[in-house]
């Protein structure tokens, strides 16, 4: 274990890291002290990066982005990789080199924090450059305190930041709608349930019940604007074992509404939407007219990111 490891933050080689950035703690908020490792494919890393953008702290916390694939063998080894793994021409669009250490694999970051680490090499990872260790790699924990951790440091145009980043969310939803429609469903890539479905589900299931009102992502809703994604989501929830059983809307809604004092200072949990998820599933995806949010900024961002609009 790293000599910098506090057992309360990282108990042993099988444990994650659970540090918090706070003025009176081991990890105080400082400009350019922390670095975030993410993957653009991962909903958990997406949460942390979305907060980073919505709070306008991109200049305070830089990021390194792993490639979307390959992940490794059946056991996940050697894990996520950075650009430049096989030389300067090894570039996966949208990914980056490791900006801190110029290393090839994410697991090497974990081993820098704990050379005996035996857990998963997952994203997101928040790194402390001063103490040379991991602060936190639990997305749910990051989501609770990251929105307010740097409030005393940064001055931002909140409206400008919001206007720039919400269209990115809906550009991605427009693209997902098109992909599922094109595959014919019932899963993202067609007839087979894959990792993509699991990753997308954990974000989309929260969209109408939380993200629309809590993060003001109100250019559209899944149930109102994306008929194909809506049927895909309902099919997973109602018809595929494990999805409904592991989804608790009370926990989801109360976590967000009662944990983010800067966003929801009265900690009021909205009653709606009702129901949390609608019943009845139409699996004839190919016959549906795919939906799209046509806000001009969304369409512009969709063309920039995906080459379509």
- Residue 294, both tokens: 């046509």
- Tokens 């094109």 appear where? 182
Binding site annotation covers 16? Answer: no
CA distance 204 to 216: 15
- Residue 69, both tokens: 């694939």
CA distance 174 to 169: 9
Binding site annotation covers 168? Answer: no
Q: To the nearest 5 percent, what fractions of the chain are helix, strand and coil? A: 40, 10, 55
> Phi and psi of 63, rounded to 5°?
-130, 155
CA distance 266 to 257: 9
Binding site annotation covers 110? Answer: no
Q: Is 217 a catalytic residue?
A: no
Binding site annotation covers 138? Answer: yes
CA distance 9 to 29: 17
In 3D, which of 258, 34, 204 has the Cα closest to residue 126?
34
Helices (H), 121-270: 139-149, 158-183, 195-206, 212-214, 222-225, 227-239, 249-259
**Catalytic pick from 9, 36, 42, 205?**
42
In 3D, which of 192, 222, 193 has the Cα closest to residue 206?
222
Burial 38-64 (b: 16+ CB within 10 A, else e): bbbbbbbbbbbbbbbbbbbbbebbebb
Binding site annotation covers 254? Answer: no
Binding site annotation covers 122? Answer: yes
C-beta atoms surrounding 70 within 10 Å: 10
Binding site annotation covers 123? Answer: yes
Residues belonging to the binding site are: 80, 120-123, 138-139
Catalytic residue positions? 42
Residues belonging to the binding site for glutathione are: 80, 120-123, 138-139
């Amino acid at each position: 274990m790293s000599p910098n490891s506090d057992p309360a933050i990282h108990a042993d080689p099988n444990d994650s890291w659970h540090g918090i950035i706070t003025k009176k703690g081991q990890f105080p908020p400082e400009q350019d002290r922390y670095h975030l490792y993410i993957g653009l494919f991962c909903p958990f890393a997406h949460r942390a990066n979305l907060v980073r953008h919505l709070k306008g702290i991109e200049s305070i916390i830089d990021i390194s982005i792993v490639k979307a694939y390959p992940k490794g063998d059946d056991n996940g080894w050697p894990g996520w990789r950075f650009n430049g793994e096989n030389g300067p021409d090894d570039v996966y669009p949208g990914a980056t080199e490791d900006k801190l250490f110029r290393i090839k694999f994410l697991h090497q970051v974990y081993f820098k924090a704990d050379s005996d680490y035996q857990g998963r090499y997952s994203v997101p990872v928040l790194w402390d450059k001063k103490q040379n260790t991991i602060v936190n790699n639990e997305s749910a924990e990051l989501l609770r305190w990251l929105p307010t951790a740097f409030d005393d440091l940064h001055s931002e145009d909140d409206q400008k930041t919001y206007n720039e980043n919400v269209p990115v969310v809906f550009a991605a939803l427009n693209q997902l709608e098109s992909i599922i429609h094109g595959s014919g469903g019932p899963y993202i890539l067609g007839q087979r349930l894959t990792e993509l479905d699991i990753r997308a589900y954990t974000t989309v299931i929260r969209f109408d019940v939380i993200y629309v009102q809590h993060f003001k992502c109100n250019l559209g809703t899944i149930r109102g604007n994306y008929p194909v994604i809506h049927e895909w989501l309902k099919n997973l929830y109602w018809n595929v074992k494990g999805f409904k059983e592991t989804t608790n809307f009370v926990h989801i809604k109360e976590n967000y509404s009662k944990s983010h004092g800067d966003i929801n200072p009265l900690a009021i949990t909205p009653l709606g939407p009702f129901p949390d998820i609608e019943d009845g599933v139409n699996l004839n995806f190919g016959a549906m007219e795919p939906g799209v949010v046509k806000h001009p900024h969304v369409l512009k961002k969709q063309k920039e990111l995906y080459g379509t609009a």
